[in-house]
Amino acid sequence: MPGANLTRTEAEERKDVVKAPIHYNVALDLTRGPKDFLSTTTVEFGAEPGVSTFLDLIANTVESIEVNGVAQDPAAVYVDNRIELSNLAERNTVTVVARCQYSNTGEGLHRSVDPSDGNIYLYSQFEVPDARRVYAVFDQPDLKAVFDFTVVAPQSWIVTSNMPVHETVALDQMTEAGTMGDHADEACQRWVFETTPIMSSYLTAICAGPYAQWHTEYANEDGRTVPMAMYCRQALKDAFAKDVDYLFDITKKGFAFYAKTWGVPYPYAKYDQIYVPEYNAGAMENIGMVTIRDSYVFGSKVTDALAERRVVTVLHELAHMWFGDYVTMKWWNDLWLNESFAEFTSTLATAECTDWKDAWATFCSGEKSWALNQDQLSTTHPIVAPINDLNDTYVNFDGITYAKGASVLKQLVAYVGREQFFKGIHAYLDRYAYSNATLADLLHELEGTSGRDLTTWSNLWLEQSGINTMTTELVSTGEGDEATIAQLSLVQTAPAEHPVLRPHRLAVGFYNEDAATGNVVRTDRIELDVDGDRTEVVAAAGKPVPDFLLTNDDDLTYTKLRFDAGSLDFVLNNLYRFDDALARAVIWLSLWDMTRDAELPAEQFIDTSLKALATEHESTTFRYALAQISTTVWHYTDPSHRAEVAEHVARELFKLANEAKAGSDEQFQLISAYLTYGVVGDEQFVANAKGLLDGTVMLNGLQIDNNFRWTIIRALVGVDAMSDDEVAAQLAANETTENREFALGARAKRPTAQAKDWAWQQAVHNLDLTNSQLEAVAAGFSSTPDVALADAYVQQYFDELDWIWSNRTFHMAEASLKACTQAMRRRPSLLPLVKPGSTAMPMPTTRSSAWCVPMWKPPSAHRPPRHSMPRCSMQPTDHQL
């Protein structure tokens, strides 16, 4: 299968042909204008004499190709994004000169122009395999090589790569650097970087532009001094300067934690973190130079949830320096292992070496809820999914790969023991340093340190789809306070379409009211192995019946929970009194899951959650509870009185916001959530929103900063109470990259047929929108509660599918189609599209319009290469909640 796709078989065949050592010399000239750049690649490698293979390259034009000193005709050997290499020698040298294209999609070498000051910023994004958009390369993870990069760019810019700068050389721009394009009057310079260690091509990186910069050092555990740097756009430097020292401190704590935990010091020459605009992902673990989305630079107030997510993201990418970079997967089928491990261990580090001590509650409410949702759709798949080609990889950056995988790794730690687990990780890193490895290699090391046979465990947990349900069955004797447990059993079931029962290491927590404080606290805990369809908790017999029994206390395993009748009744009335953040998160997630499965009335979940919000202070749990309430209101309640329920929830949120502590995270989240409940014709809502904007409605301590101003603007546009001209005036007053996106999203949100038609055309056909602008338009298009507005686009959705996949990169196609899908999810007439019997089907009375259109998976010919879905399971930014 030629072209931009690459099959696993082809990769294995090429691996057999191309012999180490492999060395690249890559020279980029970034002074050729705004559309493309000059790329010159010389690659040296070994091969069996007489064999053939190919290099990967996606370029506008290929100017020359030379193989072992012999010029080749590019028209003959460069076909379908591949350079054919025939009749190779034992040692080979290939030089390719090409003009490659800047992207505005966040793939390859992205070019962004900041409207606030005109500055140009470039950054690379090469995962899955987009290094080939910048230089000619054997673009697969197991053909590791060493790289030498040189870059020509305007002299005023900063250029960074994986390694420190070896030297800079001033150039004459007219004779040596060609035409300067955007910088015709400026001198230019060549940056020459030190040679890299052996590494995979998808981890190479280049960033260039007039970035603001900060520097420090880290005393590494091996005695070296590691230079550290932070970068961001000039327009954000004042805001970022407030956080730089904090983020350096978090990073240094991560260095120390990982080196101690794994017994391997940080292995690379430097560590940069560069915050870049219009980024598709949360961040990317390029060796020695991590790129991070610059929405993590906080110029306006954000939730504590997002502030914590930034910390987890920083530590996630740092973990990859060992797990993913130092030791790299052989093929993309083990991508889950890279991401799941980084997600698990970054949460562990956040909880144990930063001030965010409730990080596991955050993980439960955020990451695990994402996994539970995706694992119950018809599109679920095993954690270790078959990856037959690159196109399979693109659709597996999801909640299964990241969040379920991380949850299962947490279960693995409980199953084998923490000390034994990390001894196995140390052995794995030592054995496979600077090379490639597989899941089987890791499990072998863990078996050696734990003594557990992990073959069956791996098959059941990693190679089978679906999720189990653990139901607590309680038989008691006596009455009231004298009641004791006669028998406590845990009953494990599995869905019919995935009938797999798994072994679990878990804990059962006993919770009772503390008379002195009025809180509900844990008074006992039993940890045990659970296997098969029924497990008796022998140690519980004879103990007093507690107010509440929590199976999966401390959230050690990955399972759905169903409580015994007494516990369920107690928690529905007392969730707000539980004193432990993780316990509340586990319980709340289970109540939400019961609501989705129509086992708990929608309005009961809403009332329980509203009451618990009054005392909840764990920000991510708070954030997800608000989102779950919203979904329940608009999807799971009886349509005949849905408007009344929505009005009730809006009133309660506004009341809670006014009662919350001045300037608190809870106040900010509550008023932001309130602003999503507007409906056309609600005069009180319009008055409140306009009052917040003009200052006539005030909440003590609430600051109307830039981003919150746009939250109010979108709320007003969403009820058709602010004109496009007024939105344009707000943008003109402060036109920034972010505000352009806010304005586009606001215009797309307007609940009129004309606005939706404009948004549809922009999202589907405007190829000039950047990735972030497209996402903003798509989100606005899909946000209206008026189902009638979606009717006109049902047939168009299916008519446009092939055009979108043929004319968009994967990320842009996905963003377009996701918005269309979300908008149409509100239409009951599309229910037959759902797989019969799936957990996404509507349930009687409680969720009559709740359903899901499975994500369309296009034919291979229509799936161009792209970067993946958001890495690090990056959650929506606050203004999108």
Per-residue pLDDT tens over the stretch 651-678: 999 999 999 999 999 999 999 999 999 9
Q: What is the pLDDT of residue 798?
A: 86
Residue 477 lies in a domain: yes
Residue 590 pLDDT exceeds 50: yes
- Strand 146-154 relative to strand 19-29: parallel, antiparallel, unpaired? parallel
CB 169 within 8 A of CB 153: no
Which residues, in sequence order, are CB contacts of 568 under 8 Å at separation 6+?
none
Q: Quote the CA–CA distance of 500 and 492 in Å, as a whole number.
A: 10
Point out the domain boundary residue: 462, 483, 502: 462
Q: What string of H, E and C letters represents the secondary structure of 180-210?
A: CHHHCCCCEEEEEECCCCCECHHHCCEEEEC
Percentage of the chain surpassing pLDDT 70? 91
Q: What is the pLDDT of residue 212?
A: 98
Point out the domain boundary residue: 462, 487, 507: 462
Q: What is the pLDDT of residue 173?
A: 56
Lowest mean pLDDT among 253-267, 490-504, 512-526, 853-867: 853-867
pLDDT band at residue 865 under the 50/70/90 scheme: very low
Q: What is the pLDDT of residue 822?
A: 64
Q: What is the pLDDT of residue 869?
A: 31
The answer on 192 and 56 residing in a single domain is yes
Q: Cα Rg for the chain, rounded, in angstroms?
A: 28
Q: Quote the CA–CA distance of 813 and 817 in Å, as a whole number.
A: 6
317 is annotated as an active-site residue:
yes
Q: Quote the CA–CA distance of 802 and 61 in Å, as a whole number.
A: 26
Residue-wise pLDDT for 236-260, tens only, equals: 999 999 999 999 999 999 999 999 9
Please name the amino acid found at residue 706: N
Residue 781 pLDDT exceeds 60: yes
The answer on 164 and 80 residing in a single domain is yes
Q: Quote the CA–CA distance of 783 and 794 in Å, as a whole number.
A: 16
Residue 334 lies in a domain: yes
CB 55 within 8 A of CB 82: yes
The answer on 473 and 435 residing in a single domain is no
Q: Which domain holds residue 441?
A: 327-462
Which candidate in 107, 317, 339, 618 is catalytic?
Answer: 317
What is the rounded average pLDDT of the residues 348-377?
A: 96
The answer on 509 and 448 residing in a single domain is no
Short-list 860, 840, 850, CA closest to 379: 840
Q: Which two tokens stand for residue 651?
A: 């009133």
Residue 408 lies in a domain: yes
Which residues, in sequence order, are CB contacts of 345 under 8 Å at separation 6+?
258, 261, 315, 319, 323
Q: What is the pTM of this model?
A: 0.92
Point out the domain boundary residue: 407, 434, 462: 462
What is the rounded average pLDDT of the residues 385-397?
A: 84
The more confident residue out of 798 and 620 is 620
Q: What is the pLDDT of residue 859?
A: 36
Strand partners, 198: none
Strand partners, 273: 230, 290
The answer on 92 and 164 residing in a single domain is yes
CATH number for the domain including 356?
1.10.390.10
Alpha carbon separation from 728 to 49, 181, 291, 732, 744 (Å, rounded): 65, 31, 32, 6, 10
Residue 780 lies in a domain: yes
The answer on 182 and 56 residing in a single domain is yes
Which residues, in sequence order, are CB contacts of 174 under 8 Å at separation 6+?
none
SS3 call for 90: coil
Q: CB atoms < 10 A from the CB of 647, how many?
A: 17
The answer on 503 and 431 residing in a single domain is no
Residue 622 lies in a domain: no
Q: CB atoms < 10 A from the CB of 39, how many?
A: 24
Q: What is the pLDDT of residue 794?
A: 84
The answer on 457 and 480 residing in a single domain is no
Residue 303 lies in a domain: no
The answer on 508 and 370 residing in a single domain is no
Residue 353 lies in a domain: yes
Alpha helices in 48-145 (DSSP H): 74-77
The more confident residue out of 817 and 299 is 299
- Strand 61-67 relative to strand 70-72: parallel, antiparallel, unpaired? antiparallel
Residue 837 lies in a domain: yes
Q: What is the pLDDT of residue 821?
A: 65
Question: What is the tally of structural domains in the chain?
Answer: 4
Residue-wise pLDDT for 331-344, tens only, equals: 999 999 999 999 99
Rounded to 10 degrees, the C-alpha dihedral 652/655/657/660 comes to -120
Q: What is the pLDDT of residue 623?
A: 97
Percentage of the chain surpassing pLDDT 90? 81
Q: Quote the CA–CA distance of 448 and 323 in Å, as a whole number.
A: 19
The answer on 473 and 401 residing in a single domain is no
Residue 595 pLDDT exceeds 80: yes
The answer on 456 and 474 residing in a single domain is no
The total number of residues written for the chain in this structure: 881
Q: What is the pLDDT of residue 789?
A: 85
Q: Quote the CA–CA distance of 382 and 416 in Å, as a whole number.
A: 22
Q: CB atoms < 10 A from the CB of 298, how many?
A: 17
The answer on 119 and 6 residing in a single domain is yes
Cα atoms found within 13 Å of the Cα of residue 634, Cβ hemisphere only? 20
Terminus-to-terminus CA distance in the chain, angstroms?
41
What phi and psi, each to the nearest 5 degrees, are found at residue 158?
A: -105, 135
Sign of CA pseudo-dihedral 392, 395, 396, 397:
positive
